[in-house]
Structure 1
Amino acid sequence: MKEVRKMDKKVELYHGSGQIVEFPEVRKTRYTKDFSWGFYCTKSYEQAYRWAERKHKHGIINVYSYTENKQLKIKKFDQMCDEWLDFIAECRVGKIHEYDIVEGPMADDTIWNFVNDYLSGNISKAVFWEYAKFKHPSHQISFHSMRALECLTYERSENVDDDTVE
């Protein structure tokens, strides 16, 4: 199991993909994600591995060093909370936020189903939290502007079978 490595105030981040992504981009897609459109990474090598393996025939883990720029608008959620739930609910229905970078727990498919039930009025916020308390969300950090992407430095890419490709 790989740990987060700090390198001179830099943190290593991972992006699971089907290709080498030396130059990350913010792309609008058909569906918005937890924190809206952006370039998504994680501190967890294992999570990036799952993203790459699950969604792509030939998965690649792209590795970046990240240096936070305190001049950017950054929103951090340390854990799932009411503010986090409201934020991802708004993002998932298309609301755009003003942050350059958003970091926090990821609503996986199971948690997202609970969020969807909450948004549809099928369950209350209290019931959402009752369901979600048994789930252990994973980490994500999303980059939403060109200035935010400048905080990332491409280091290398690896096949999901751990053979280095670049």
Structure 2
Amino acid sequence: MDYGKGFYTTTSKDQADKWVARKISATGTDKGFTNIYSFDESGFETLNVLKFDSANEQWLDFVMQNRTEKNFSHDYDIVYGPVANDRVYAAFALYEDGMLDKEGLIKELRAYKLADQVLFHSIKSLEYLHFENTVEVCK
């Protein structure tokens, strides 16, 4: 949702386990699985990559385009940057409702410790991603 359609990953084991735990709760099952991948970094030289080092104005604009513009599309193979957690979603809602301006939202986001997310947006980008292992996550 933040970066568009595609295959989302993170470099944070904690974040990945939280994503799985959320799915476990939503489906009522007792366990789920986190898949572990490696990435061939030569892809950074050949792919069209958009990287956000922090929750800045450009990141916010890009995320809002993906969330609010129905036909928004981009041609990046990979997008890397911060992931919005539950506290960030609440701040986004205030921004979307006009109760918080862009500057205020960015200031608030900088106070949060945000995990990262990596979107593999194109088939070409997936060629650089290699499955390594699966780890069980229990409720």
TM-score range, shorter chain: 0.7 to 0.9
The percent identity for this pair of structures is: 36
Q: Does 1:150 align with 2:122?
A: no
Partner of 2:8: 40
Q: Does 1:60 align with 2:37?
A: no
CA distance in 2, matches of 1:61, 1:52: 7
Partner of 1:123: 100
Q: Does 1:96 align with 2:73?
A: yes
CA distance in 2, matches of 1:127, 1:64: 36
Greater share of residues in helix: 2
Alpha-carbon contact 1:85-1:115 (below 8 Å) kept: no
Partner of 1:29: none
SS in 1 for 2:59: helix
Residue ranges of structure 2 left out of the alignment (5+ in a row): none
Equivalences, count: 129
**Higher normalized contact order (CA 8 Å, seq sep 6+, divided by chain length):** 2
CA distance in 2, matches of 1:151, 1:144: 12
TM-score (norm 1): 0.72
Partner of 2:110: 133
RMSD, matched Cα = 1.4
TM-score (norm 2): 0.85
Detail structure 1 runs of 4+ shifted over 4 Å in the superposition. Answer: none
Residue ranges of structure 1 left out of the alignment (5+ in a row): 1-32, 162-166
CA distance in 2, matches of 1:133, 1:122: 18
